[in-house]
Structure 1
């Protein structure tokens, strides 16, 4: 019966595409466990695109886990997304080899996993911004009633304009009761939520957990637990509390640290209940850091080191102000030790102020009478 359904289904009527005739395959740019990705030129449009071809047997094995649930295919899901931090999918279909393919925008940039490892200037400068962009992409997913199930750095790109893009949707499922039932355990081991590992009922909070692990790694270059490749090793997520990120990064904004650690809670009810709620403290921290940066850039004009310069500029345009008896003592009591050192170095500039008191007048010599010359 299932065979007849597939035979007469809409999928069976989709025309097959010979991708070697349709695309110029310029070069391989990525390969995951379930797909291959090429940088390609689409002969129909002339545009450079990313051509993703799914591995036939592995895709069928994954879809078999959702038997009877009518899980949408990756291409059917991907073309629905329209968000600045989610890669655009222009088209999907079936190849002449009966493989699923997706035509996506080509992103010039780097994998987030590379930036996590490199911890270069880009990562140090933009890390919090990237965290917020990723959170907004996940929030969009959730608002559209999906669960990503595989948030991790290798599924994320950062383009040359410093814009983060979520690029993989192979494990995405609808946020409906049928897909939340216990039993289905799919994802990347080190980023999986405890309830997913234990094959319990899931929710969108598994994405919040994976997002928190990713943010932790973006900031610290390590996972909250010892790195693990197998599910047996990942069971430590359940039995061992994560290392507090502020132990590793004492200077990290407490709002950011607390938001991440709350997202890593063992029990879903103790985590952030929505992605939107978790984004709030991250955005507040980002805004305050920018305001602090603006203030620090504006401060040099008002720092003590600028006083001698101001004094000098004033002395060239107007005569120096005469000091009162107590002026010098008052100004000295207000100077910090650092300011005192700077002022000592600039004695030459201060000289006009120090010598502004008029010197006592010398008595004029008496004029001699003419007859005294003889």
Structure 2
């Protein structure tokens, strides 16, 4: 820890609300054990094996045109999380679809600005916010960096299940990284707001990541209005924020830091009740140095002015307390410690190993340091590894990394360019000329190959043109040798076909329609009773005709004409105008609905004429509206559908019979 002359004095230990000092035993109040605040899974959260019944997104769906869903991760009252592939960066991201209604354009713009601000804060201990948008169904989503590892709550719960506790060193190491992330956030005049053990992650490389920046605050604010969520019931949220999310500040994050510190140091964990948790947080620190009680109680003060001035001040105080307690904060973690990278890089002060042991008692160093997996390589902003020295050099020679790639030595916590790291500097400098020479030879080989391809392509083009001209000449000569074709009469052409068909008629006969009947039905001045009586009369007439002509029109019920291309029925019957009129009038009720719908939309509608032909088999064909302006309109499509479904009696005509049915209502 770097010393500073202007470092603020350590905060004196305040009294607890009732003027009570922390109890010496730190025992819980009598009664049944309270529900712990820290569990493997946050309250109300469903894991990856507990997918909701109706998931918004499915595997393979594209979100925002950029993120492709791979699988469901989990869900809570605030939203549903999916693991996605970012097409732009080819990296894994988490897309969280919010279960909140669209707040309006102005509010959405403010939320988007908040997410952009979070995404602009780049820090090793922060999960990055990629962006915000809306799904195809209009739901709000936020894309964030995916952390492959465990949450702090899972690590703590696992330790307690095993009967183990966290040391001051582990507590400092985790919170020091969290403080570094918070310092970067507070420098941008914003805050996290929902700092809990469920929002702190430890990836597989031991890097601590503070997650859900902007997302947690956004969802918790929405849920607070419904009387639920972190702002409503989490013990880690400052009391002023629980009262109103408008009170969010950097000081509220300091309260969360103090409560997390008390949670990590408590051997059995804090209860989920706010009041009990606050009391037990202080009681559980009785066995630790008084300075630690002073620091944590200052963080948990209801007066924001009594809390530490910044996250950096909290870190400095906690580091000094840990050192005074004899904890070694740098170097390789001792056995049983949390799998977290050290927060202190410089070597420990005090006695060296050579002062404590005889040199002869110390085991010699490994004979081959290249076998130690001590290096992490940064690619696209993320650390990969660990790798041995040999693996690093193999990646260099495979051009997977270069001399400017950032490498972290996990033993010394040194991060620098590969060429600047002492263990690799000589190898990298010797390899660079070899690589450049190899690239030069490869470039020459590519240039030679391109020259040969161009030369061969030109020759192939010339050969192709010559061959094409020869083929065209042969085709022209063959065509000139053919005799002139002889015309064939149309009747003879039809007779040569196996299938006999009739062409559409060239003339259409108009069917007479009772104009008085139409006027009475569609008269806008007629009363509903008059229209009903007229329709009843039409239904009665149509029903009788339908029953009388049942053999011709088919079975009762909805009629959908089968596709019938037969041209001859084998019948000698002549189809009269009266029979045509009967079939049409039997379906007049449905046609009335078509006309009335158009009259309701267009009071100037006068009517239309349906033109069609009747095949000898009785089916209709070529149905169209004679007035072209109604052909594609709803009334035209409705009438076409009705006439296509009609079935007339079979007749013995040798050609299709053309019919025009005028239907004028005004």
Task: Give the alignment's TM-score, normalised by structure 2.
Answer: 0.35
What residue in structure 2 maps to residue 52 of structure 1? 95
Residues 1:33 and 2:69 are matched in the alignment: no
Unaligned runs of 5+ in 2: 1-60, 219-229, 329-346, 362-666
Query: Against the structure 1 CA distance between its residues 104 and 198, is the aligned structure 2 distance closer, same or farther, given a 3 Å change threshold?
Result: closer
Q: CA deviation at 1:190?
A: 1.4
Native 8 Å contact 1:244 1:261 kept in 2: no
Paired residue for 1:95, among 115, 119, 135? 135
Alpha-carbon distance in 2 for matches of 1:102, 1:286: 38
Residues 1:246 and 2:292 are matched in the alignment: no
What residue in structure 1 maps to residue 256 of structure 2? 210
Alpha-carbon distance in 2 for matches of 1:254, 1:205: 22
Query: Against the structure 1 CA distance between its residues 255 and 140, is the aligned structure 2 distance closer, same or farther, given a 3 Å change threshold?
Result: farther
Paired residue for 2:234, among 189, 196, 209? 189
**What SS does the aligned partner of 2:302 have?**
coil
Residues 1:269 and 2:305 are matched in the alignment: yes
Alpha-carbon distance in 2 for matches of 1:27, 1:298: 54
Native 8 Å contact 2:132 2:143 kept in 1: yes
Which structure 2 residues correspond to residues 106-145 of structure 1 after superposition, within 5 A? 106-119=146-159, 124=167, 126-145=170-189
Alpha-carbon distance in 2 for matches of 1:139, 1:166: 12
Alpha-carbon distance in 1 for matches of 2:243, 2:142: 33
Native 8 Å contact 2:127 2:209 kept in 1: yes
Which structure 2 residues correspond to residues 1-374 of structure 1 after superposition, within 5 A? 18-19=62-63, 22-47=66-91, 49-57=92-100, 60=102, 70-72=110-112, 75-119=115-159, 124=167, 126-169=170-213, 170-172=215-217, 186=231, 188-199=233-244, 201=247, 203-220=249-266, 226-228=271-273, 234=274, 242-247=281-286, 250=287, 252-286=288-322, 289-290=327-328, 295=351, 297-301=353-357
Native 8 Å contact 1:150 1:171 kept in 2: yes
Alpha-carbon deviations, 1:63-118, whole Å to 9, x = none?
69x97994556533431221111102233322212223333322121011101212
Query: Against the structure 1 CA distance between its residues 294 and 74, is the aligned structure 2 distance closer, same or farther, given a 3 Å change threshold?
Result: same
**What SS does the aligned partner of 1:25 have?**
strand
Alpha-carbon distance in 2 for matches of 1:295, 1:117: 36
Alpha-carbon distance in 2 for matches of 1:221, 1:27: 37
**What SS does the aligned partner of 2:294 have?**
helix
Native 8 Å contact 1:159 1:165 kept in 2: yes
Alpha-carbon deviations, 1:164-216, whole Å to 9, x = none?
1111122448xxxxxxxxxxx93652112222334495532111111111121
Alpha-carbon distance in 2 for matches of 1:101, 1:202: 23
Native 8 Å contact 2:193 2:217 kept in 1: yes
Alpha-carbon distance in 1 for matches of 2:116, 2:72: 24
Alpha-carbon deviations, 1:197-256, whole Å to 9, x = none?
3449553211111111112112225555x322xxxxx35678x58433322xx2x45544
Native 8 Å contact 1:75 1:101 kept in 2: no
Unaligned runs of 5+ in 1: 1-16, 174-184, 229-233, 307-374
**What SS does the aligned partner of 1:131 have?**
helix
Alpha-carbon distance in 2 for matches of 1:127, 1:19: 39
Alpha-carbon deviations, 1:262-299, whole Å to 9, x = none?
21123222222322222211232455622779748445
Alpha-carbon distance in 1 for matches of 2:78, 2:275: 25
Native 8 Å contact 2:96 2:143 kept in 1: no
Native 8 Å contact 2:263 2:281 kept in 1: no
**What SS does the aligned partner of 2:357 have?**
helix
Alpha-carbon distance in 2 for matches of 1:53, 1:276: 31
Alpha-carbon distance in 2 for matches of 1:277, 1:171: 25
Native 8 Å contact 2:127 2:145 kept in 1: yes
Alpha-carbon deviations, 1:100-140, whole Å to 9, x = none?
33333221210111012122789656332111111121222
What residue in structure 2 maps to residue 321 of structure 1? none
Q: How many residues align?
A: 264
Q: CA deviation at 1:54?
A: 2.4
Alpha-carbon distance in 1 for matches of 2:95, 2:151: 16
Native 8 Å contact 2:234 2:272 kept in 1: no
Native 8 Å contact 1:212 1:264 kept in 2: yes
Task: Give the alignment's TM-score, normalised by structure 1.
Answer: 0.59
What residue in structure 1 maps to residue 486 of structure 2? none
Higher Cα radius of gyration: 2
**What SS does the aligned partner of 1:79 have?**
helix
